Amino acid sequence: MVDEETEETREYVIPPGGGVPWMDHTTKESHRPAERDIQITDVSTMVLQGNFQWGIVAVETDAGITGYGEVHGSGPQELGRLEGQNPLDINRVRDIMWEPGPGIETALWDIKGKLLGVPVYELLGGKYRDEVRVYCDTHGGESLGEAQSETVDPREIYTPESYANAAREVVDAGFDALKFDLDVRTHAEVDTANRRLDNAAIEHKVSLVEAVREEIGYDVDLGFDLHWNFTVETATRLAEKLEPYDLAWLEDPVPPHKYDAHRRVREATSCPIMTGENLRNPGEFKEILDAEGMDVAAPDPHNCGGLRNFRKIATLCDLNGVPIVAHNICSPVSTVAAAHAAASVPNFVALEYHAYDVPWWEDLVTRTGTDRPGDVIENGSIDLPEGPGLGIEIDMDVASEHLVPGEELVE
């Protein structure tokens, strides 16, 4: 029980759903130099409409430094218990936040880097690489909605030629790693509930993969995504047929939390099986690693709880000999934040870029100290920013053009 004398001076974290207060997060300021004794004063967000909604988070401090981060969608960003907290105590502040965390955590790394005058990767232990490799999410054919109407044969839309052409364009743009969706339909009418593909559907998918390999060769890392759609037997039949094409990964063949099902697919094929974008914390990654359910891990630096969790997951994966290909559908703010974390772990392979079709994506930020927009990703990689914090600044003129109706710019 809480001692009445100390109740007012301590901050206890109540676990979600209640329970007995136990963690005491009171800190003593006696060893904090005055110049580092700063406080969070405000939290605000603006939601931008890209190919997804990007919630840009701004955390203000009484030191005149503002940090930026990002959440998927709009998500509430309450000042709440953050007010008055020292933003430099990132782990402790992260511990007292249940939701939402990742965007604010990124902003705290940005604040700390700006205050200390160092890039975020420096705060994360330094870098293994100067450039962070990026893989491009790539699409052949027309919009999925049209193809899923019952009047059009999807095979007329998702053609081998459309896949090959899209791959060629992305490779010519400088990427040496890319991914396609492979869970496109084959028949106008198909029973999707049973999660099974017939032989014609499998042959269609093989024809798409074959066409891409014929176009771009085998020197490009090539992945395909199945979006959790299939049974073990279907995923296995398909994966075996894809083995000659030396894929870098086959992603999410079966539903995300069926760890034994992942293991069974893995054991039945030499195609590397990747999963992880739906897993939300290091504990879930430990479970699937213990189940030997993946060859390649795809943590999303923000879905998995933030840069701190991403690094924990990377360590777990490293201990199990599993490389990281990070999922990412964010604006440049979160993408650059993810790049700092990706540079700081040894077992990183590539970071996703999911906005090839958003022409203003790169224009949203400039590198600190330059007025140059549009140089976040060049030749398929991110040259790690060396400015303080994330090393980028948001162009508010660009942001203002893409605000979701009713949203206001953050400061």
Interface contacts to Mg ion, rule CB under 5 A: 225
Angle at CA of residue 384, ends 250 and 174, nearest 5°: 55
Dihedral class, residue 254 (left if φ above 0, else alpha if ψ from -120 to 50, else beta): beta
Shortest reach from residue 283's CB to Mg ion, in Å: 21
**176 vs 225, beta carbon nearer Mg ion:** 225
Residue 174 CA to residue 46 CA, distance in Å, equals 32
Q: Which residue is nearest to Mg ion (CB)?
A: 225
Q: Which position has the token pair 């490293």?
A: 318
Least Å distance, CB 373 to Mg ion, is: 28
Q: How far is the CB of 327 from Mg ion (least distance, A)?
A: 6
As measured in angstroms, the least distance from the Cβ of 114 to Mg ion is 33
d(CA 41, CA 210): 56
What is the SS3 assignment for 36?
helix
Task: Give the nearest distance from C-beta 101 to Mg ion in angstroms.
Answer: 22
- Kindly tell me the burial class for residue 298, based on how many C-beta atoms sit within 10 Å of its own C-beta (0-12, 13-18, 19 or more): buried
Which H, E and C letters describe 179-210, residue by residue? EEECCCCCCCCCCCCCCCCCHHHHHHHHHHHH
* Burial status of residue 70 (CB atoms within 10 A of its CB: 0-12, 13-18, 19 or more): buried
Q: Which lies closer to Mg ion via its Cβ, residue 225 or residue 284? A: 225
Q: How far is the CB of 211 from Mg ion (least distance, A)?
A: 21
* The token pair that represents 178 in the structure block: 């890319």
In the complex, the smallest distance separating the C-beta of residue 225 from Mg ion, rounded to whole angstroms, is: 4
Token pair 């992880």 is at which residue? 276
Q: What backbone phi and psi angles, to 5 degrees, belong to 297?
A: -100, 140
